[in-house]
Structure 1
Amino acid sequence: MTDKNREEDAIRGVAERLKIAFSATHSAGEVETVVAKAHAAFSERPVREFIPVLVERRARSMLNKPSA
């Protein structure tokens, strides 16, 4: 498995965990959108090892913010 595939699998896992954690307040589509935005924020980072952890933290933060 390549590093890119491993990262993609990890990001899918992040999305699944967050869909469950935020199912009462956010739709699955909203969670996927937030995870994609969080992941895109790290697209230019050369070191990829911790990207899934950083994406999950950023996405959780975004999902916990009250809607405007």
Structure 2
Amino acid sequence: MAKEDEGQAVAAVIGRLVNKFPNAPRPLVEEIVSEEYNALNDGPIRDYVPVLIERAAKIRLKDSLKRT
């Protein structure tokens, strides 16, 4: 996956998560997605990075919102 395509996919992940978690502030969603992206940034296979980011971010957002 090209970096430009990956960036668009990550932006789409943020948009979906903001819609799925309306009680989560957008900056929190962006921060979590960014952290998950950075955790996977060194991987050699890029095709699944957006899917993996979204899955991990959903878990973290659910946990975060349970605590509030």
TM-score, with length taken from structure 1: 0.89
Q: Deviations over 1:4-58 (max 9, x none)?
A: 00000000000000011111x2101111111101111101101001000000001
Match of 2:11 in 1: 12
Give the aligned length: 66
Counterparts of residues 26-41 of structure 1 (less than 5 Å):
26-41=24-39
Match of 2:48 in 1: 50
Separation in 2, partners of 1:40, 1:46: 13
Could you tell me how far 1:67 is from its partner in structure 2? Answer: 2.8
Separation in 2, partners of 1:34, 1:19: 12
TM-score, with length taken from structure 2: 0.89
Residue ranges of structure 2 left out of the alignment (5+ in a row) = none
- The 4+ residue runs of structure 1 with deviation greater than 4 A are none
Please report the RMSD computed on the Cα atoms of aligned residues, expressed in angstroms: 1.4
Residue ranges of structure 1 left out of the alignment (5+ in a row) = none
| Higher helix fraction (1 or 2) | 2
